[in-house]
Structure 1
Amino acid sequence: MILLTGFEPFGGETSNPSWAAARGAAALLSAEGFPAVAVELPCVFGEALNVLAAALAEHGPDLVLCAGQAGGRERISLERIAINCDDARIPDNAGNVPVDAPVVTGGPAAYFSTLPIKAALGALLAAGIPAEVSQTAGTYVCNHVFYGLMHALRRSPGTRGGFVHVPFGPDQVRPGNGVASLPLDRMTQALAVVVRSALATTADLKLAAGATH
């Protein structure tokens, strides 16, 4: 079973393409013979992890791909690492604003994605989908969920997981304002490509995709 997650709208937006893309990718993968389910997460510290934990318990997935929106980014961002830090620049949807708080008290400083992000990068670029490896998932609810996911999966060594950020959808930006967006069908395809790459790859590729700053 494949579990995909996306988020509800936040920060004053009326839509969140991560949820629409997760739902669409789950339908696409299921039609291809890969059983998949999508779950929407609240953009709320703590509560998001409770919903994720319930989904993990209910579905017992072999692979988990969580997605979130990173407005302003131009590409599909394959997140490399989650850090044990909640530091909110804006309130979550319940008004919480944690500052320098651990996601998990006593947990390790960070977890790496266990998905083959370099193989996924190559597959995305080959499909003509703009993509990159990202070295930071931020310190908001997306990183909170990414870290919480990997912390939960430490007890399920047979299950791989990771996180992807998607750009704004075209409906979220004004034409000509210079803010990047990506059509929803491309985001949907991108999540499906990442899942297919993970299913087909046991050892990740060696591709240069680092950062100088």
Structure 2
Amino acid sequence: MLKAAVRETAPAILLGVGQAGGRERLSIERVAINLQDARIPDNTGAQPIDLPVIAGAPAAYFSTLPVKAMLAALREHGLPAALSHTAGTYVCNHVAYAMLHLAATRRGVRAGFMHIPYLPEQAARLRGAPSMALGDMVRGLEIALRVAAAVRDDLGISGGTLD
């Protein structure tokens, strides 16, 4: 479906979005790995363990979006945000890796992925897990896309973590 959508729309930027319960901020993913190792089944019941996302493809891809410039812009607008150095090994990583692989085969297409927190109403059902208002998430995605469209060379600022 992703290939068909890209073929039909010919986008310059692909930004995948997935929900990561437990995260309290917008998380810009830096790396997607060619590994599926599902702790639980997905919505279709599939539970791949130790399988590649795409057989014979590279071990990992880095985002081709200006992740540090996106991070700086989100923070400048008062939104809690961070770089994430793993999209996990579940569905979001699968989508992120497939997007980055597809972008690597298409000239002029850049791609990345962002995790969003729970909505407040979801968090309330989950005993106070971290959350973010929908309006803030939408604003954050809009900011990130504007920066991705305008910036080619990323900022040379630290995005590393100690954990």
Shorter-normalised TM range: over 0.9
- The ranges of structure 1 where at least 4 consecutive aligned residues each deviate by more than 6 angstroms after the TM superposition are none
**Hey, what does 2:142 align to over in structure 1?**
192
Distance 2:147 2:97 in 1: 22
Select which of 32, 37, 54 maps to 1:104. 54
**Hey, what does 1:174 align to over in structure 2?**
124
Distance 2:125 2:36 in 1: 33
**Hey, what does 1:122 align to over in structure 2?**
72
**Hey, what does 2:101 align to over in structure 1?**
151
| CA RMSD between the two structures | 1.2
Distance 1:138 1:88 in 2: 9
Select which of 56, 60, 66 maps to 2:10. 60
Question: Structure 1's 176 and 84: CA in aligned 2 closer, same or farther, altered over 3 A?
Answer: closer
**1:84-135: CA deviation from partner (whole Å, max 9, x where unpaired):** 0001011011100000000010111000000000000000000000000000
Distance 2:18 2:102 in 1: 19
Distance 1:148 1:163 in 2: 11
**1:160-207: CA deviation from partner (whole Å, max 9, x where unpaired):** 110000000011022893410000010001111111011111100011
* Number of positions where the alignment pairs a residue of Structure 1 with one of Structure 2: 163
The code of the aligned residue for 1:190 comes to: G
**Hey, what does 1:32 align to over in structure 2?**
none
Identity %: 50
Distance 2:77 2:44 in 1: 38
Q: Structure 1, unaligned stretches of length 5 or more? A: 1-50
Q: Structure 2, unaligned stretches of length 5 or more? A: none
**Hey, what does 2:88 align to over in structure 1?**
138
Distance 1:202 1:138 in 2: 26
